[in-house]
Structure formats: C-alpha cells, structure tokens
Structure 1
Amino acid sequence: MAGAQAKEKIVDYVHQNAIHVETVKKEMHNLKLYTEFRINPFKPLHILTDKPMGRNAQAKEEGDPAFLKIINGARKEPTKKYTHPQTENQEIGWISTPLVIPDRSDRRLNFPRQQCEITKFMEAAWRLKEQTENLR
C-alpha cells in the first residue's frame, strides 16, 4: 500500500510556479546585458582584408590613435607597463639585470672546467667501457 502512494505523484502547480519565479528572479539579478561592442585589448588584432600573417598587414596601422595606444600598451611586458610589480609572483624576477657584471677574466668568480691527468685517464676509461658495453 505504501508503494502505491509513492508511485502517485502529487502535482502542486502553485509550488512549481513559485520555484520557477524564484529561479527567474535569480537569473535576472545576475544578468548583465552588454549593449556596446568593444574589441578586447588583450588579444591580438588581425585585419581581415589582408592576409593575417602578411608583411603589409603589420605595417599598415590606421585608425584611432588612442585605440592603437591601448592595444600597443597591452602587448608590452609587465616591466614596461608598470613601475612596480602588481602581484607577488611578479616580484620574483622583476629586476632582471644582474647585480654583478660577469667578468670571465676574474678567477674569484669564474671557475672554468679543468682536468688533471687522473680525470683525463678516468674519462678515457669510462668512454672505453661504454663503447664495449654498446657492442654487446
């Protein structure tokens, strides 16, 4: 008998309509209507009349100078756009110039690869061992 009652669906149209009205209100509250078309300054601009990868397409830049300034500014790397880092990740490597100019003639800071007689002998023995193993 309990199974028969569970199979029957009680349709409450008023309750379903209230749920639908609440859902529509939430959608309308979060809806943002865009009525003006704008080009995204963070994506590259391709001229459709010319070939996209053509040399002349890059040379011809006609249009609003303010718009071109925004587009060219968006393409710059962060160190040229901003005076200081905007995020914590940008702080790492923000100053990319070396603190000390590398001088190859200075023996204190430059340690070139050096070999003595023992290392030359062991390197030759190691190469010989690798060659014999590859032949097997």
Structure 2
Amino acid sequence: MAGHPREKVIPDEVHQNQILRELYLKELRTQKLYTQYHVNPLRKIHTITRKPMSWHDNLEEPADARFLNLIHHTAQGPRKKYPETQTENQEVGWDLEPLVNPERHDRRLNHFRVCSDITLYKANTWGLGEDRHK
C-alpha cells in the first residue's frame, strides 16, 4: 500500500489557463507603475549632456590655457614627451640615427650586385625558361 506509484496528472487547457491567470494577477499586484521620474538626490554629480543647437550652450567661453597645454602635450609623440623610453616596446626604434655612417663607397657595408660570367649565364637561362622544369 505504501509504495504505489501515482499516475501523473496532466492538466487540461482549462486548468492551464487558470494557473496562468493566477500568475498574471499576482504579477500585476506586485508591479508598480512609475510615471514621475526624478534625479537621485543621493548622487553627487549630475551629468547632463549639452544640446548642440542650443544658443546658451554655444556661447564663447574663455580658453583654458592649462587644458590646452595638456591636450597639446598628449598629442605629441613619445620621443618629444620623454627623454628616454618608458616601456620595453619603445626601445625598439627609439634611436633613429644609425650607429655607423653609411657611406656608399664602403664595400664592408654595401654589397652591390656584381655581374660575372656565371650570374649572366643564369640570368639568360631564367629568361629563356629552361630552368622551370628542374
């Protein structure tokens, strides 16, 4: 008697509708409709954006020299702002001057193309297309 399995009762559409109606009425009782809005008095700063076409917001104001200097300083490159690098990545390319004076006639640093018999032969064979199938 104690271990009889009960059959699962599937509610019909009428009972489902009644359950949904009760849920809907409970939600309506707990909801409160706000129609009057105000600024939070506990918040210290009220940030309200300006309207771009408003005449009183577009009046000429005196320029703040400190702010302008700050803007110009931030717009400069890091080489003009700082005497040395601030990060590891700035070290690459920080010194733009070459360590050795690049002279064009110094053969130790400048390796120009030199034409010899072998290079001319290979250039001619490439031009004829004989080397493509190897």
TM-score range, shorter chain: 0.3 to 0.5
| TM-score (structure 2 length as normaliser) | 0.47
Query: Which structure has greater helix proportion?
Result: 1
**Normalization by structure 1: what TM-score?**
0.47
Larger radius of gyration: 2
Greater RCO between the two (CA within 8 Å, min separation 6)?
1
